[in-house]
Amino acid sequence: MLSHLAIQNFALVQQLDLELQSGMTAITGETGAGKSIMLDALGLTLGDRADQDVIRAGMERADISATFSIAADDDAHTWLQEHDFPLEGSECILRRVLTRDGRSRAYINGQSASLAELKLLGELLIDIHSQHEHQSLLKVATHQRLLDGFGGLQALAASVQTAAQAIRQFSTDLAALKNRSADDAAQVELLGYQVKELSELNLAAGELAQLENEHSLLSHADAALASLQEVTGLCTDNDDFNLEQSLRRACSVLEALPFENPQLQEALTLLQAALIQVEEAGSVIHKAASRIEADPARLEEIDQRLGAIHNLARKHRVPPAELHLHAQALAAKLKLLNVSDEEIAVREQQLKAMQDNYRQQAGELSTKRAKAALQLEKAINGQLAKLGMGSAKFQVALNSDPKRAPAAGGNESTEFLVSTNPGQPPKPLIKIASGGELSRISLSIQVVIAQTTTIPTLVFDEVDVGIGGSTAKAVGELLQQLGKRGQVLCVTHQAQVAAQAHQHLLVSKMTVKQNTTTSLVELAKPQRIREIARMLGGDALTENSLAHAEELLAS
């Protein structure tokens, strides 16, 4: 749920820190007070595009952040992990910063994000119902998912999707095998010879580098031994002159001086250290020299092996270091071409079995979808009647194609249609002209779907347009019913709707010294009674309007 919204320098809002609760929250205010500002700001954190005009006059930047509690939202947790965004306990923070120079920055849990990433994550966190791009019900792609959720068919639908994907991949691989050309026999013969040739070479990964290192060592063994012997002599073994003997003599001379001198003492320490290093160097060189041994027979063997490797590398036109990989690739290609007609027949039988399994599962899914569609139509049409749209008719269209190849969605596609007036053919939801009608249709669908699926934070923007009285009361009751299952934010003009809310926010606009500011505050019960009374009878509050408001709240 949306737990906190912070807005700075956005439109007419200078500073706003709003704590939100679960349940139903009503947002009211006089016409022109800026009730849409909160939703517009929230939309920016969900990836809406914006320009510098939304930044408050005189300010250099606008900053909006929305904090969501996702403790029970496994989908949001999974999305954050899959996209490498940090997890901060049970909270997810979406932030958007706009600057006067036209730049825009987005963040998810403090890490830079793209607008596309905000949109994808936002669709898991909140659903805004209005004539707005966040309205998922206008996307036909969501209709089948909602129907399957209502009918409890998610597991079967997932199984059908997996089966269709497996058939598609298996069919592609089988087609590649069956499309072998007449030249394949000659290619198989050539590949067989090449693979045999490379197999006999039996070149292991890393062997070439090892052979080259060993060859270099053996090729220079005599010269290396001579050089090491010369260095050993200079350090320790030359009887006429060596560094060790000279350093020992120098140390003895300094130690024998009949007086003390700090600088000479330092020189003595340095010479003693040098003596130790020379002794160690001599020992290391001696050990290295003992491991070097001229071996003409091994050198000739390596020469022959390297010659064979380089000859085959030239023949196959690949670098010598890649020869073993080339051998593996040719072997894999030969194995693919060597598939027999019998094996192809076996694979065709396997494909047929997969297709039969798909048809069985997809057929079962179609039957259950048809049953669930009738139940969904009945439930939603019942809700529409409660909302003053008794003449409207909601319909679930299941469009099937007998010639359709196995598809991830099964044998049919699903689309929600509605006719708002008798005698009119049903149309897609996106073609509903009235925003109020569309909002009430969306509300009816959500109330029904929410009984079988986990609902996100829902926002309804003026679902009460063009209604009043008992219909407005019914809208409020439905919104409250939704609020008991999750979180509902509702911008409303109707007192009957606002009275049903668990939390009531008032939007107001003030002008001081030609400086206009919009604020949003939570109302306590006394202030709430006055606001509902204003909504019932206008600015002039009367005893009757106040009593009516109190009665609405009490009910």
Tell me the per-residue pLDDT of 442-455, one tens digit each, with 9 for 90 and over: 878 877 887 676 66
**Has residue 168 got a pLDDT over 90?**
yes
Indicate the SS3 state at residue 345: helix
Name residues whose C-beta falls within 8 Å of residue 295's C-beta, 6 or more positions apart in sequence.
Answer: 218, 221
Question: Is 307 among the domain residues?
Answer: yes
According to the model, what pLDDT value does residue 77 have?
Answer: 87
In this structure, are 222 and 106 located in the same domain? no
In this structure, are 191 and 331 located in the same domain? yes
Highest mean pLDDT, choosing among 28-32, 256-260, 317-321, 499-503: 499-503
CA distance 164 to 96: 40
In this structure, are 217 and 298 located in the same domain? yes
Residue range 257-281: average pLDDT?
A: 86
According to the model, what pLDDT value does residue 166 have?
Answer: 94
According to the model, what pLDDT value does residue 411 have?
Answer: 93
CB 126 within 8 A of CB 134: yes
b/e string for 17-54 if b means 16 or more Cβ within 10 A?
Answer: ebebebbbbbbbbbeebbbbbbbbbbbbbbbbebeeeb
According to the model, what pLDDT value does residue 351 have?
Answer: 94
Question: Is 457 among the domain residues?
Answer: no
Q: Which residue has the higher pLDDT, 280 or 133?
A: 280
In this structure, are 16 and 74 located in the same domain? yes
According to the model, what pLDDT value does residue 37 have?
Answer: 82
Residue range 153-175: average pLDDT?
A: 92
Residue 546 lies in domain: 525-555
**Has residue 382 got a pLDDT over 70?**
yes
Q: Helix %, strand %, coil % for the chain, to 5?
A: 55, 20, 25
In this structure, are 502 and 533 located in the same domain? no
Question: Is 513 among the domain residues?
Answer: yes
Helix axes 262-290, 221-232, angle to 10 degrees: 150
pLDDT digits (tens, 9 = 90+) for 18-67: 889 889 999 988 776 667 788 888 989 998 888 778 898 888 899 999 99
Question: Is 426 among the domain residues?
Answer: no
The CATH number of whichever domain residue 121 belongs to comes to: 3.40.50.300
HSE (CB half, 13 Å, CA atoms) of 521?
11
CB 496 within 8 A of CB 476: yes
**Has residue 15 got a pLDDT over 80?**
yes
Residue range 386-397: average pLDDT?
A: 89
Instruction: Give the rounded percent of residues in the chain with a pLDDT score beyond 70.
Output: 94
User: Of 337, 357, 382, which residue sits at a domain end?
Assistant: 337
Residue range 333-359: average pLDDT?
A: 84
In this structure, are 519 and 530 located in the same domain? no
Question: How many independent structural domains does the chain possess?
Answer: 3
> What pLDDT band is residue 519 in, cutting at 50, 70 and 90?
confident
According to the model, what pLDDT value does residue 185 have?
Answer: 67
Q: Which residue has the higher pLDDT, 311 or 243?
A: 311
User: Of 311, 337, 363, which residue sits at a domain end?
Assistant: 337
In this structure, are 491 and 553 located in the same domain? no
In this structure, are 212 and 102 located in the same domain? no
Highest mean pLDDT, choosing among 323-327, 372-376, 380-384, 385-389: 372-376
pLDDT digits (tens, 9 = 90+) for 110-151: 999 999 999 999 888 888 776 454 467 778 888 998 899 899
CB 407 within 8 A of CB 359: no
User: Of 301, 319, 337, which residue sits at a domain end?
Assistant: 337
Residue range 261-271: average pLDDT?
A: 86
CB 503 within 8 A of CB 19: no
In this structure, are 189 and 332 located in the same domain? yes
In this structure, are 476 and 545 located in the same domain? no
Question: Is 346 among the domain residues?
Answer: no
**Has residue 539 got a pLDDT over 80?**
no
Question: Is 123 among the domain residues?
Answer: yes
In this structure, are 285 and 213 located in the same domain? yes
**Has residue 354 got a pLDDT over 50?**
yes
Two tokens, residue 103: 């730049």
CA distance 419 to 399: 18
> What pLDDT band is residue 339 in, cutting at 50, 70 and 90?
low
In this structure, are 218 and 113 located in the same domain? no
Residue range 148-162: average pLDDT?
A: 92
**Has residue 238 got a pLDDT over 60?**
yes
- Total-model pTM: 0.59
According to the model, what pLDDT value does residue 455 have?
Answer: 64
**Has residue 161 got a pLDDT over 90?**
yes
**Has residue 545 got a pLDDT over 70?**
yes
Question: Is 302 among the domain residues?
Answer: yes
Question: Is 115 among the domain residues?
Answer: yes
Instruction: Give the rounded percent of residues in the chain with a pLDDT score beyond 90.
Output: 27
